Each structure stands twice: as structure tokens, then as C-alpha cells.
Amino acid sequence: MTVALTDRFPETERWTDEVNQPRWPLPTTGIVAFLSPKPEELAVLARAIDKLVHDGAANEARTLRSLEEKMLANIRGALARASRSTTRRCFRHSASPAAPAPG
């Protein structure tokens, strides 16, 4: 297991605590991308919020919008910009009407 941990997070260092237990603290920078929502997940969340607004469920939409804002605030720097950009692209793509069938 420790090999898999260091393979995934190469900057992980092993240390021993005051009661002689081994510890492997995970570097924050390494787990941000690992734990951050995928752009597709953010796009689905945005569509769900819009649907709630459309269906008249304003309170639920506000709650999910707050969650979305907290999630985006926790994504740092370039990762946040890339996720927001991809979310907008995914949303525009899913909201566009299907092309007519040939023939």
C-alpha cells in the first residue's frame, strides 16, 4: 500500500510520530487535483441548478449554487480556470440542439 501511495504522490515522506507510529502525510498540492470535481461533474451540477430554477425550486437551486461556489473556491489557480472553462464548454455542448438527421 505504501508503494502505491508513493507512486501516486511521489513527494510523500514517511515519518514516525511521538508514539513511534509511522505516518505518511499527503501533500496538499498533490491531492487537490485528485479530490477536485471533474469538469463534467461541475457541468452536470450547473445543469441541475438551472433545471431547479426552471422548475420553480428556487431554495434548492440556491443551496446547490452555494455548494457549487464552495467547490469552485477550493479549486486553486489554473485548475479552477480550466475547470470553469471546460464546464462552460460542456454545458454549451449539452444545451445545444441536436443536429438534424441526414437525409
Beta bridge partners of 22: 16
Quick one: cell of 40? 463534467
Q: Cβ(27)–Cβ(12) under 8 Å?
A: yes
For 22, the domain range is 1-34
Helices (H), the chain: 2-8, 28-35, 39-54, 58-74, 77-95
Looking at the fold, whether 51 and 14 belong to one and the same domain comes out as no
Q: What is the pLDDT of residues 3-36, one digit of tens each?
A: 887 787 777 778 888 999 988 777 666 666 677 7
Helix (H/G/I), strand (E/B), else coil: 22: strand
Quick one: cell of 83? 475547470
Q: How high is the pLDDT of residue 85?
A: 58
What lies within 8 Å, CB to CB, of 30 at 6+ separation is 8, 9, 11, 12
Looking at the fold, whether 45 and 86 belong to one and the same domain comes out as yes
Looking at the fold, whether 18 and 42 belong to one and the same domain comes out as no
How many domains are there within the chain? 2
Kindly tell me if the per-residue pLDDT of 48 is higher than 90: yes
DSSP, res 37: P
Beta bridge partners of 42: none
pTM summary value? 0.49
